[in-house]
Amino acid sequence: MGRSLFRTLGPALLAASGFAAPAAADWQYTRWGMSPEQVVAASRGAVQLGPPPSGKSYENLTGRARGVYTEAGASFDAYFHFDAEARLARVALERTGGTECAPLHNRLLAELGRPATSTRQPFATIDQWRDRARGNLVGYVLVGQLPCTITYSRVP
């Protein structure tokens, strides 16, 4: 995997040991605005219809598909969130194993540079990048000992 994970993970990428990005503003095999059924079909079996576990929702979006994603030594639970019209609006990747969170964060910093917004507390790191080249927002959240989460969405 010599491709930049951020780019491999698509729109606003994850980081985990080599990265490469598509020209379009999307995540991996998905396109912003897809229906849940289109996301499942595009995943070639990696994603199924169904909500994320309780507490894994974002803003006014509804989780309608979930799966597992592996890239560059890291494994993730992938949650797909949709707007009120059932169009893909956000992908959330929660690390479940493999590459630790600190190297993933460092790769995001190397790939995307200084975050547009950043919050550092003794118990939390929250960064967000505006990846204008790919038209995506990339978020990184690490709170305490919980797994880190990397999110991708279209730049508004």
Q: Which of 95, 133, 92, 126 is nearest to 112 (CA)?
A: 133
| pLDDT tens by residue, 76-115 | 999 999 999 999 999 999 999 998 999 999 999 999 999 9
Query: Could you tell me what percent of the chain has a pLDDT over 70?
Result: 83
What are the residue boundaries of the structural domains of the chain, listed by start?
Answer: 5-151
pLDDT band at 60 (very low <50, low <70, confident <90, very high): confident
Task: Report whether 86 contacts 80 (CB < 8 A).
Answer: no
**pTM over the 0.85 mark:** no
At 3 the pLDDT is 36
Q: Label residue 108 left, alpha or beta by phi (over 0 means left) and psi (-120 to 50 means alpha).
A: alpha
Radius of gyration, CA atoms only, the chain: 14
